[in-house]
């Protein structure tokens, strides 16, 4: 078997240019597969991470129907008022976090303009990850205190302890959060009460509720829905559990993945047909050699194996190179996403099982594409093959 591999390798090396062209055909398909699968994995991992940080025992109350998803603009669109005290009395409701989203006017020395701002209850940090780069978080009694995203801090030249103006009121910078946070680093945080005061509202954009220990999230969500309908008389708010949102997002990613996978599959099919074509040509060209191999006692199965190994090797080489290029593309995509969107939105989507799987798969594609040509070679009549000009 190992020695037959040597013969196959010689066959490949003997027609270098054509072998390479064929390998490139496979390479393109495998590159597409690896790039797209890893991109899908990157997105799924990123989504999974953000949900894990939030915790599966958390649900959100948002205006409108399910589908906006966490972090989507739809969920920040409208504000609504809610009786937090009554909500906390609902059975199974644990910790409650509040958030108000708005674009507000800020001014620091020479710079001024609008920034995304989140008015948050001081316990909001237990609901999602905010990495403190400097200073502290909100404490009870904080009024005109602000925590800046690291980008804002840099742009405005502000440090912890400095003061700035927000909607013409003086604020003290008490902290700065880093790019590793689940917030855009060009946003700012202020206490919810202050935000409501500035905007003259009692509303919120989003409510986070954690199920109390021992309660199932889905059950609590149902109770909250009933409570909301009872107190408001209409279904203008929806309760989303992380499970639900996660499912919706994963399903969407799954469909995207299948679509991309289909495209990659077609590319690979074309590559496979290229291998088949090359192998048929090789069998034809080497008819006489096949006759000779049979004359010196090669069994049909051995001839078949030589040609299968040859096409499998082409698949494997295309697969190895394609995996490398696809992995580079994935790194590039992660880097580009980070450069464009600031926060680390994507995870690396290359895993050992993907690499090994793809290598095995590309060898298989090559061998399968070579199956018919190899069979044709094995079935040649030795005498006719020897007479072939």
Ligand X SMILES: Nc1ncnc2c1ncn2[C@@H]1O[C@H](COP(=O)(O)OP(=O)(O)OP(=O)(O)O)[C@@H](O)[C@H]1O
Binding site for other proteins (CB under 8 A): 3-4, 6-7, 10-11, 13-14, 288-289, 291-302, 382-383, 386
Quick one: which segment of 57-65, 100-108, 239-247, 381-389 binds ligand X (CB under 6 A)?
381-389
Partner from ligand X, other proteins, none contacting 293, C-beta within 5 to 8 A by type = other proteins
Q: How far is the CB of 370 from other proteins (least distance, A)?
A: 17
Cα separation, 193 vs 119, in Å, equals 7
With respect to other proteins, which residue has the nearer C-beta, 123 or 302? Answer: 302
Cα separation, 232 vs 208, in Å, equals 18
Q: How far is the CB of 3 from other proteins (least distance, A)?
A: 4
CB neighbours of residue 383 within 10 Å: 10
Cα separation, 175 vs 183, in Å, equals 14
Q: How far is the CB of 50 from other proteins (least distance, A)?
A: 56
With respect to other proteins, which residue has the nearer C-beta, 7 or 176? Answer: 7
Quick one: which segment of 86-94, 239-247, 270-278, 379-387 binds ligand X (CB under 6 A)?
379-387
Output the six-digit token pair for 248.
């919706």
DSSP state of 126: G
Q: Which residue from 325, 324, 314, 323 is spatially nearest to 369, judged by alpha carbons?
A: 314
Quick one: which segment of 109-117, 347-355, 368-376, 380-388 binds ligand X (CB under 6 A)?
380-388
With respect to ligand X, which residue has the nearer C-beta, 269 or 295? Answer: 295
Q: How far is the CB of 27 from other proteins (least distance, A)?
A: 24
Q: Does 384 bind ligand X (CB under 6 A)?
A: yes
CB neighbours of residue 223 within 10 Å: 15
Q: How far is the CB of 283 from ligand X (least distance, A)?
A: 19
Partner from ligand X, other proteins, none contacting 294, C-beta within 5 to 8 A by type = other proteins
Q: How far is the CB of 7 from other proteins (least distance, A)?
A: 7
Q: How far is the CB of 296 from ligand X (least distance, A)?
A: 20
Q: Which residue has the tokens 């990123």?
A: 46
Q: Please, are residues 97 and 207 in contact by the beta-carbon 8 Å criterion?
A: yes
Buried b (16+ CB within 10 A) or exposed e, 156-183: bebebebebebbeeebebbbbbebebbb
Q: Please, are residues 155 and 111 in contact by the beta-carbon 8 Å criterion?
A: yes
With respect to other proteins, which residue has the nearer C-beta, 80 or 388? Answer: 388
What is the DSSP code string of 95-110? EEEEEEEEEEEEEETT
Partner from ligand X, other proteins, none contacting 289, C-beta within 5 to 8 A by type = other proteins
Buried b (16+ CB within 10 A) or exposed e, 204-213: bbbbbbbbee
With respect to other proteins, which residue has the nearer C-beta, 2 or 353? Answer: 2
Q: Give the footprint of ligand X on this chain (CB under 6 A).
A: 383-384, 387
């Amino acid at each position: 078997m190992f020695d037959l591999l040597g013969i196959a390798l010689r066959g490949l090396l003997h027609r270098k240019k054509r072998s390479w062209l064929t390998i490139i055909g496979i390479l393109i398909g495998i590159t597409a597969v690896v790039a797209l699968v890893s991109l899908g994995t990157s997105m799924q991992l990123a989504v999974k991470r953000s949900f894990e940080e939030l915790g599966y025992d958390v649900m959100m109350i948002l205006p409108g129907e399910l589908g906006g998803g966490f972090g989507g603009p739809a969920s920040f669109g409208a504000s609504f008022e809610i009786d937090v005290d009554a909500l906390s009395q609902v059975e199974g409701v644990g910790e409650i976090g509040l958030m108000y989203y708005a674009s507000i006017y800020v001014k620091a020395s020479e710079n001024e303009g609008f920034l995304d701002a989140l008015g948050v209850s001081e316990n909001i940090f237990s609901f999602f990850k905010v990495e403190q780069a400097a200073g502290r978080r909100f404490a009870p009694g904080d009024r005109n205190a602000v925590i800046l995203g690291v980008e804002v801090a840099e742009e405005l030249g502000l440090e912890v302890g400095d003061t700035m103006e927000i909607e013409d009121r003086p604020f003290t910078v008490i902290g700065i959060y880093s790019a590793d946070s689940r917030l855009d680093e060009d946003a700012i945080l202020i206490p919810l009460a202050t935000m409501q005061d500035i905007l003259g509202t009692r509303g919120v954009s989003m409510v986070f509720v954690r199920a109390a220990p021992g309660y199932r999230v889905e059950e609590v969500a149902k109770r909250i829905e009933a409570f909301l309908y009872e107190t408001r008389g209409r279904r203008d708010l929806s309760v989303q559990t992380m499970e639900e949102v996660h499912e919706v997002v994963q399903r969407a990613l799954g469909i995207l993945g299948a679509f991309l996978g289909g495209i990659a599959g077609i590319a690979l099919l074309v590559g496979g047909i290229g291998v088949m074509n090359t192998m048929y040509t090789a069998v034809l060209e080497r008819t006489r050699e096949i006759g000779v191999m049979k004359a010196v006692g090669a069994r049909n199965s051995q001839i078949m194996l030589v040609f299968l190994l040859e096409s499998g090797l082409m698949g494997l080489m295309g697969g190895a190179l394609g995996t490398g290029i696809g992995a580079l593309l994935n790194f590039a995509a992660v880097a580009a996403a980070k450069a464009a969107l600031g926060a680390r939105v994507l995870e690396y989507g290359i895993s050992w099982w993907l690499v090994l799987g793809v290598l095995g798969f590309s060898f298989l594609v090559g061998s399968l594409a070579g199956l018919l040509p190899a069979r044709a070679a094995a079935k040649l009549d030795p005498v006719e093959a020897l007479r072939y000009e």
